[in-house]
Amino acid sequence: MAGLTAKDKISEASISAKIIRADGTIEDLGVIAEMKKKSSFHRLLSKFKLIFGGK
Amino acid sequence: MADVIKVVDDGMSIITNRLRRNDDGTPHFLHWGVGTTDAANGDSAMQLLTNCDEDRAVGVMTQQTTNETNDTFQVVGTLTCITATKAIQEAGLFDAAGSSTPKVGGNMFLHGTFDSISVNVADSIEFTIKVAFDQA
Protein backbone atom coordinates (compact mmCIF):
# COMPACT_ATOMS: atom_id res chain seq x y z
CA MET A 1 0.00 0.00 0.00
CA ALA A 2 1.34 3.37 -0.94
CA GLY A 3 2.30 5.71 1.85
CA LEU A 4 0.48 8.96 2.37
CA THR A 5 2.20 12.30 2.59
CA ALA A 6 0.60 15.52 3.73
CA LYS A 7 1.43 18.32 1.32
CA ASP A 8 0.37 21.17 3.51
CA LYS A 9 2.36 24.34 3.24
CA ILE A 10 3.59 27.49 4.79
CA SER A 11 1.39 29.80 2.78
CA GLU A 12 2.62 33.17 3.87
CA ALA A 13 5.35 34.80 5.87
CA SER A 14 5.78 38.50 6.41
CA ILE A 15 7.90 41.00 8.28
CA SER A 16 6.44 44.34 9.31
CA ALA A 17 8.49 47.12 10.84
CA LYS A 18 7.93 50.18 12.93
CA ILE A 19 10.79 52.59 13.59
CA ILE A 20 10.87 54.30 16.96
CA ARG A 21 13.32 57.17 16.73
CA ALA A 22 15.34 58.32 19.72
CA ASP A 23 13.16 61.44 19.97
CA GLY A 24 10.03 59.31 20.22
CA THR A 25 8.90 59.75 16.62
CA ILE A 26 7.29 56.59 15.25
CA GLU A 27 7.42 55.62 11.59
CA ASP A 28 5.20 52.69 10.68
CA LEU A 29 6.68 51.07 7.57
CA GLY A 30 4.05 48.35 7.34
CA VAL A 31 5.06 45.12 5.59
CA ILE A 32 8.69 45.31 4.47
CA ALA A 33 9.16 41.71 3.32
CA GLU A 34 6.64 39.08 2.29
CA MET A 35 6.71 35.48 1.11
CA LYS A 36 3.86 34.09 -0.92
CA LYS A 37 5.80 31.22 -2.40
CA LYS A 38 4.79 27.79 -1.14
CA SER A 39 7.24 25.82 0.95
CA SER A 40 7.25 22.09 1.54
CA PHE A 41 5.60 20.83 4.69
CA HIS A 42 8.49 18.42 4.95
CA ARG A 43 10.81 21.36 5.31
CA LEU A 44 8.64 22.56 8.18
CA LEU A 45 8.80 19.15 9.81
CA SER A 46 12.56 19.21 9.50
CA LYS A 47 12.57 22.50 11.37
CA PHE A 48 10.42 20.94 14.07
CA LYS A 49 12.84 18.07 14.41
CA LEU A 50 15.68 20.53 14.66
CA ILE A 51 13.90 22.64 17.25
CA PHE A 52 12.29 19.96 19.36
CA GLY A 53 14.66 17.08 18.89
CA GLY A 54 12.26 14.70 17.19
CA LYS A 55 13.37 11.70 15.16
CA MET B 1 -12.09 5.72 -1.70
CA ALA B 2 -9.11 7.83 -2.60
CA ASP B 3 -6.15 7.99 -0.27
CA VAL B 4 -6.41 11.36 1.41
CA ILE B 5 -4.46 12.82 4.28
CA LYS B 6 -4.75 16.31 5.64
CA VAL B 7 -3.21 18.34 8.38
CA VAL B 8 -6.60 19.67 9.42
CA ASP B 9 -7.49 23.18 10.48
CA ASP B 10 -7.03 22.35 14.15
CA GLY B 11 -3.73 20.73 13.29
CA MET B 12 -2.40 24.05 12.09
CA SER B 13 -3.42 25.51 15.43
CA ILE B 14 -1.42 22.77 17.14
CA ILE B 15 1.60 23.69 15.01
CA THR B 16 1.46 27.36 15.95
CA ASN B 17 0.71 26.54 19.59
CA ARG B 18 3.71 24.25 19.69
CA LEU B 19 5.90 26.89 18.08
CA ARG B 20 4.98 29.55 20.60
CA ARG B 21 5.74 27.48 23.70
CA ASN B 22 8.01 29.68 25.74
CA ASP B 23 10.76 27.21 26.46
CA ASP B 24 14.13 26.36 25.01
CA GLY B 25 14.08 25.81 21.29
CA THR B 26 11.25 28.15 20.42
CA PRO B 27 12.23 30.48 17.59
CA HIS B 28 11.60 33.85 19.21
CA PHE B 29 15.01 35.52 19.27
CA LEU B 30 15.08 38.39 16.80
CA HIS B 31 18.21 39.67 15.16
CA TRP B 32 19.01 42.28 12.54
CA GLY B 33 21.84 42.64 10.08
CA VAL B 34 23.25 44.69 7.24
CA GLY B 35 23.69 42.01 4.56
CA THR B 36 22.56 42.88 1.05
CA THR B 37 21.95 39.48 -0.56
CA ASP B 38 18.40 38.18 -0.87
CA ALA B 39 17.35 35.61 1.71
CA ALA B 40 17.51 32.01 0.47
CA ASN B 41 16.16 28.63 1.53
CA GLY B 42 19.55 27.42 2.67
CA ASP B 43 20.34 30.36 4.94
CA SER B 44 21.39 29.49 8.47
CA ALA B 45 22.80 32.77 9.80
CA MET B 46 22.62 36.50 9.32
CA GLN B 47 24.71 37.59 6.35
CA LEU B 48 26.61 40.56 7.77
CA LEU B 49 26.75 41.90 11.31
CA THR B 50 29.08 44.88 11.00
CA ASN B 51 28.30 47.20 13.94
CA CYS B 52 25.37 44.96 14.91
CA ASP B 53 26.50 44.35 18.48
CA GLU B 54 23.02 44.44 19.96
CA ASP B 55 21.71 41.41 21.80
CA ARG B 56 19.00 39.47 20.03
CA ALA B 57 15.58 40.68 21.13
CA VAL B 58 13.36 38.23 22.98
CA GLY B 59 10.18 38.35 20.96
CA VAL B 60 6.63 37.92 22.21
CA MET B 61 4.98 34.91 20.58
CA THR B 62 1.27 34.63 19.89
CA GLN B 63 -1.14 32.71 17.71
CA GLN B 64 -3.00 34.77 15.14
CA THR B 65 -5.62 34.03 12.52
CA THR B 66 -5.00 34.51 8.81
CA ASN B 67 -7.35 32.01 7.14
CA GLU B 68 -8.26 29.51 9.86
CA THR B 69 -8.34 30.02 13.61
CA ASN B 70 -4.82 30.19 15.07
CA ASP B 71 -3.13 29.20 11.80
CA THR B 72 -0.47 31.88 12.21
CA PHE B 73 2.62 32.07 14.42
CA GLN B 74 3.58 35.66 15.26
CA VAL B 75 6.64 37.08 16.96
CA VAL B 76 6.97 40.75 17.91
CA GLY B 77 10.29 42.09 19.12
CA THR B 78 12.19 45.35 19.28
CA LEU B 79 15.87 45.93 18.65
CA THR B 80 17.55 49.18 19.70
CA CYS B 81 20.70 50.46 18.02
CA ILE B 82 23.55 50.74 20.54
CA THR B 83 26.68 50.84 18.44
CA ALA B 84 26.68 52.96 15.30
CA THR B 85 24.46 54.29 12.56
CA LYS B 86 23.70 51.52 10.10
CA ALA B 87 21.41 50.45 7.30
CA ILE B 88 19.38 47.44 8.41
CA GLN B 89 18.58 45.15 5.49
CA GLU B 90 17.85 41.79 7.05
CA ALA B 91 16.02 40.31 10.02
CA GLY B 92 16.10 36.79 11.35
CA LEU B 93 14.41 34.59 13.91
CA PHE B 94 16.49 32.11 15.91
CA ASP B 95 15.87 29.50 18.55
CA ALA B 96 18.60 30.82 20.85
CA ALA B 97 19.95 34.11 22.12
CA GLY B 98 23.33 33.36 20.59
CA SER B 99 26.78 34.04 21.93
CA SER B 100 29.74 36.35 21.31
CA THR B 101 29.51 39.90 20.00
CA PRO B 102 27.93 40.27 17.55
CA LYS B 103 25.59 37.43 18.42
CA VAL B 104 25.96 34.23 16.44
CA GLY B 105 24.72 30.69 16.83
CA GLY B 106 21.40 29.03 17.36
CA ASN B 107 19.23 27.67 14.58
CA MET B 108 17.68 30.10 12.12
CA PHE B 109 13.94 29.67 11.66
CA LEU B 110 13.21 32.61 9.35
CA HIS B 111 15.31 35.07 7.38
CA GLY B 112 14.00 38.14 5.61
CA THR B 113 15.75 40.79 3.53
CA PHE B 114 14.33 44.15 2.54
CA ASP B 115 15.07 47.70 1.47
CA SER B 116 17.43 49.35 3.91
CA ILE B 117 16.18 51.03 7.06
CA SER B 118 18.63 53.54 8.49
CA VAL B 119 18.94 53.64 12.25
CA ASN B 120 21.01 55.91 14.47
CA VAL B 121 22.13 55.15 18.00
CA ALA B 122 19.09 54.90 20.31
CA ASP B 123 16.68 54.36 17.41
CA SER B 124 14.64 51.15 17.57
CA ILE B 125 12.81 48.92 15.14
CA GLU B 126 9.84 46.91 16.28
CA PHE B 127 9.56 43.88 14.02
CA THR B 128 6.39 41.87 13.63
CA ILE B 129 6.99 38.51 11.99
CA LYS B 130 4.13 36.30 10.90
CA VAL B 131 4.21 32.76 9.53
CA ALA B 132 0.86 31.40 8.34
CA PHE B 133 0.13 27.75 7.52
CA ASP B 134 -2.35 26.54 4.95
CA GLN B 135 -3.46 23.33 3.25
CA ALA B 136 -3.56 24.97 -0.18
pLDDT tens for each residue of A33-47:
998 755 555 556 556
Give me the number of domains chain B comprises: 1
Q: Could you read off the pLDDT of B53-80 as tens digits, one per residue?
A: 999 999 999 999 999 999 999 999 999 9
Chain A and chain B share a number of CB contacts under 8 A equal to 107
Assign residue B98 a region: left if phi > 0, alpha if psi is -120 to 50, beta otherwise? Answer: left
Nearest CB to A50; choose among B7, B107, B121? B107
Q: What mean pLDDT comes out for the span B9-31?
A: 90
Q: Is pLDDT at A1 greater than 90 in this prediction?
A: no
Q: Could you read off the pLDDT of B83-117 as tens digits, one per residue?
A: 899 999 999 999 999 999 999 999 999 999 999 99
B residues 47..86 contacting A (CB < 8 A): 66-67, 78
Q: What domain range includes position B113?
A: 9-132
Q: CA–CA separation, A52 vs B1, rounded Å? A: 35
Reported confidence tier of residue B35, pLDDT bands at 50, 70, 90? very high
Kindly state the percentage of chain A with pLDDT values over 90.
40
Eight-class DSSP state of B104: B
Could you tell me which residue, B83 or A18, shows the higher pLDDT? Answer: A18
Q: Is pLDDT at A48 greater than 90 in this prediction?
A: no
Nearest CA among B118, B110, B72, B119 for reference residue B91: B110
Instruction: Classify each residue of B34-66 as buried b or exposed e, where b means 16 or more C-beta atoms within 10 Å of its C-beta.
Output: bbeeebeeebebbbebeebebbbbebebebeeb
Whether the CB of B3 is below 8 Å from some CB of chain A: the reply is yes
Nearest CA among A43, A44, A40, A12 for reference residue B132: A12
Query: How large is the greatest C-alpha to C-alpha distance in chain A, in angstroms?
Result: 66
Q: What mean pLDDT comes out for the span B28-47?
A: 97
What Rg do the C-alpha atoms of chain B give, in angstroms?
16
Q: Would you call A42 helix, strand, or coil by DSSP?
A: helix
- In DSSP terms, B77 is beta-bridged to B127
Nearest CA among B117, B85, B84, B109 for reference residue B30: B109
Q: How many CA atoms lie within 13 A of A47 on its CB side?
A: 24
* Parallel/antiparallel/unpaired status of strands B60-64 and B72-80: antiparallel
Residue of A nearest to B80 (CA): A20
- pLDDT, position B25: 86
For testing contact with chain A, the best of B15, B44, B115, B118 (most A CBs within 10 A): B15
The answer as to whether B15 is a domain residue is yes
The answer as to whether B125 is a domain residue is yes
Has this prediction a pTM greater than 0.95?
A: no
